[in-house]
Amino acid sequence: MNELIQSAVVFNEEQHTYTLGDKQLSGITTIIKQLVFPDMYKGISQAVLNKAAERGTRIHNLIQMWVLGILSNEDIAELQCFLDAFTAASLISHASEYLVSDNESVASSIDLVCLDAEGNFVLCDIKTTSVLHTEYLQWQLSIYAYLFEHQNPTSQVGALKAIHIRDNKCEIVDVERLPDEYVEALLNAYRSGAESFDNPLNKLPEGLENLLNAYVENDELLSYIKMVYDHYDKRKKEIQQAVADTMRGQNLSKIETGIAKVTIGKDSVSKKFDFKAFAESDIYKKSPKIYEPFISDSVTAGRVTITPAKPKAQS
Cα atoms found within 13 Å of the Cα of residue 62, Cβ hemisphere only: 18
Name the residue range of residue 139's domain. Answer: 10-202
Does any domain span residue 307? no
Whole-Å CA distances, 185 to 113, 204, 265, 288, 312: 25, 18, 72, 59, 31
198 contacts 186 by C-beta, under 8 angstroms: no
Final residue belonging to a domain, choices 202, 218, 246: 202
pLDDT tens per residue, the chain (315 residues)? 568 999 999 998 888 899 998 899 999 988 999 899 887 656 666 676 567 667 778 887 888 888 888 888 887 777 888 899 999 999 999 999 999 999 999 999 999 999 999 999 999 999 988 888 999 999 999 999 999 999 999 999 999 999 999 888 899 999 999 999 999 999 999 999 988 888 888 876 777 778 888 888 898 899 999 999 999 999 999 998 898 889 889 998 889 888 989 998 888 888 888 888 888 888 888 888 887 888 888 888 767 666 777 665 443
169 and 210 fall within a common domain: no
185 and 168 fall within a common domain: yes
Domains held by the chain: number: 2
255 and 219 fall within a common domain: yes
193 and 166 fall within a common domain: yes
CATH number for position 142: 3.40.1350.10
Q: What is the pTM of this model?
A: 0.64
Final residue belonging to a domain, choices 263, 283, 300: 263
Q: How many residues does the chain have?
A: 315
Predicted pLDDT at 3: 86
Does any domain span residue 20? yes
36 and 93 fall within a common domain: yes
DSSP H helical ranges for the chain? 28-35, 46-67, 80-88, 134-151, 180-191, 208-249, 275-279, 282-286, 288-291
108 contacts 27 by C-beta, under 8 angstroms: yes
- The secondary structure of residue 311, as a DSSP letter, is P
Does any domain span residue 296? no
